[in-house]
């Protein structure tokens, strides 16, 4: 299985419309806020939260990412370009 680099999104409202980008998002409220990576599939643009994945210091996501769109065949290990090594 090949690896693919995913680019960090700019701070705009339209990033979800661009396939192959990621952003760190806060989920929850108050003391229950957790951060996770949200990305748009590089092939079809479908948006997914990587809540069941880990990201190492280099930005490598594990396990591999499968697009949630049943009509899309994207299934790769990915690296998050611009990753700072921290979810908080």
pLDDT digits (tens, 9 = 90+) for 33-56: 888 899 999 999 999 999 899 999
Is the full-model pTM beyond 0.85? no
Q: At residue 88, does pLDDT exceed 60?
A: no
pLDDT digits (tens, 9 = 90+) for 58-81: 999 999 999 999 999 999 999 999
What's the confidence (pLDDT) of residue 80?
94
Dist CA 18 CA 33 (whole Å): 26
CB pairs under 8 A, 24+ apart, for 61-65?
A: 61/37, 64/1, 65/39
What's the confidence (pLDDT) of residue 35?
82
DSSP 30: G
- Among residues 35, 49, 41, 40, the alpha carbon closest in space to that of 85 is found at 35
């Amino acid at each position: 299985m090949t690896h693919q680099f995913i680019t960090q999104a700019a701070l705009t409202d339209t990033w979800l419309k661009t396939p192959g980008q990621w952003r760190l998002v806060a989920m929850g409220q108050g003391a229950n806020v957790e951060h996770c990576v949200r990305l748009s599939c590089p092939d079809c643009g479908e948006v997914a939260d990587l809540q069941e994945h880990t990201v190492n210091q280099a930005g490598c996501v594990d396990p591999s990412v499968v697009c949630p769109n049943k009509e899309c065949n994207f299934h790769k290990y990915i690296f998050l370009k611009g990753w700072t090594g921290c979810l908080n």
